[in-house]
Chains A and B, each alone.
Chain A
């Protein structure tokens, strides 16, 4: 299961890199969103997937699942949500101001 997840992470990174390298600003932003999801999935996989029961003392189980990666991912998701929201607003403002969302055309502005 872990191997499968790792392959999925690699696949997500592949898509994200493709999107990041495109000229369209919205695609770049989608790329960053996919990229951070790949990182979240990797974090979860690295903690080990469902190795035992829920980490509660009342369960009286032999082994427990590591709960820490979930806590980390929750924080990371909130942060990536905020950054993506900010980037979308930034892209909108840039589009309004410059009239283009093509990164190639946004190059080489020396002065206003």
Chain B
């Protein structure tokens, strides 16, 4: 029983509500949103630290003991993601200050960012399947608003697809919940796990687990990613970065949670399906990343490749692979945000979106060029940067469990990531300078600072991985041994 673990959801929610009333007061909105982000980061770090000392924390809302009430559960895995979410959002807000424009700020941009974060953090923390659905919807409704913000023609057209596909996946989610409640009679995740272990995961339950696989694959972009590149490339830069960094991660978190805690008895069916889907996702993402010349499309397809790579860790399902997947999740949230910001900044500076229309940018904007270079190396997994450790662990897990197909595709996809970004780098940063010194658009400091902060984070995680290791290994241990989670949730009142 610990009220602090509701804070990562409540602080953004309250901030969002307060900001709605400060619509025309831009300065106050900015100050409040930064303060609230710092507060969320601080609270999340405190919780993460507390988990290491006291074990998994839980909060039963209204004093209803599990499995009867709704509850929040904070283990290392969810808190690591909450911390990263809060930090990434804070830095993205700094970028928003100088780029999003007065028009958006008056049209409730900040409140909806905070509602989105509340939904994301809520999804990470909840211990109840229906509550997960509700938090998903909070997140999705805010994302619907954010994606249409600005109301350009392409945005509206893409958002129709985005909203419809998400309504459909929410429907699948509800159907899955209904079937599960009909067969098992509970929705508390720990309780579900206990009961399924008792009755055994028969064919009926495996089919239900596949429904959940469809739902979360749609949200995460695992194989069912056809909606992703379109809708992630239309909104303004900050919003696209927010989506690229956070939204698919929530789907991946749900996949990890459901297939390690609840449906882990039939790995031959479910985990093989995830493995095959991960392979196809990486192949499809690589093809997409090489096929387009539009920077935003290339960057969006890079999100797809990362989804496949991280879920390869779930398909392998060993403790080492889980550790790798968690490292890579954290790394991916930071670096994808950075990548989207850099792509958006390039488009802002040149006014063009195709790579062949830009050239020699490194002459005009050396800092931007170097930042892009660091991002590229980090995504490719070059040692001193944050992508390296995740790749090593996933590779090690794949070798130990003998999943060589996954291993080959996962590492080949890394080469395609590198090549697709190298194409941008060679075309846009190298070569002859098109923009002459007189009429180049000045790079705002407010745009450069957040990018530098992200770059510092990717270097810091790469070098200071030792500091992160105890948290990640604890998270992986909990994923590997669901009893720890179940014991923490149901202790004393089974």
Interface residues of A (CB under 8 A from B): 20, 25, 28, 32, 35-36, 38-40, 42-43, 45-47, 68-69, 72, 75-76, 79, 82-83, 86-87, 90-91, 93-94, 97-98, 103, 106, 109, 111-112
Contact = CB atoms under 8 A, between A and B. Distances in A.
Interface in B124-177: 130, 133-134, 137, 141, 144-145, 148, 151-154, 156-157, 159-160, 163-164, 167-168, 170-171, 174-175, 177
Contacts of B171: 32, 35-36, 38-39
Interface stretch (B101-109, B178-186, B406-414): B178-186
A111 B163 contact: no
27 contacts: A28-B164, A32-B164, A32-B168, A36-B167, A40-B174, A42-B174, A45-B178, A72-B177, A75-B130, A76-B133, A79-B134, A79-B141, A79-B170, A82-B141, A83-B137, A83-B141, A83-B144, A83-B163, A86-B145, A86-B163, A87-B164, A90-B160, A90-B163, A98-B153, A109-B153, A109-B154, A112-B152
Instruction: Specify which of B152, B174, B179, B181 lies most central, judged by the most chain A CB atoms within 10 Å of its CB.
Output: B174
B168 A35 contact: yes
Interface residues of B, number: 30
Nearest to B152: A112
A42 B178 contact: yes
A60 to B, nearest CB: 21
Contact of A93 (B151, B164, B178, B187): B151
Given A35-B171, A83-B163, A90-B159, A43 B153 contact: no
Given A32-B167, A46-B182, A93-B148, 4 more contacts: A35-B171, A36-B174, A76-B133, A76-B174
Contacts of B178: 39, 42-43, 45-46
Residue of A28, A79, A82, A103 contacting most chain B CB atoms (<10 Å): A79
A43 B177 contact: yes
B167 A35 contact: yes
B130 to A, nearest CB: 6
Contacts of B144: 83, 86, 90
A72 B134 CA distance: 10
A42 to B, nearest CB: 5
Contacts of B156: 90, 93-94, 97-98
Chain A contact residues: helix, strand, loop or mixed: helix
B154 A47 contact: no
Nearest to B156: A94
Contacts of A32: 164, 167-168, 171
A79 B135 CA distance: 11
Nearest to B138: A79
A97 B153 contact: yes
B167 A90 contact: no
A98 B175 contact: no
B422 to A, nearest CB: 25
A99 to B, nearest CB: 10
Contact of A90 (B148, B153, B182): B148
Contact of A75 (B134, B153, B181): B134
A112 B179 contact: no
A43 B174 contact: yes
A98 B141 CA distance: 23
Contacts of A69: 181
Contact of A106 (B141, B157, B174): B157
B153 A72 contact: no
Contacts of A109: 153-154, 157
A111 B167 CA distance: 26
Contacts of A75: 130, 134
Contacts of B134: 75, 79
B432 to A, nearest CB: 25
Contacts of B137: 79, 83
Contacts of A83: 137, 141, 144, 163, 167, 170
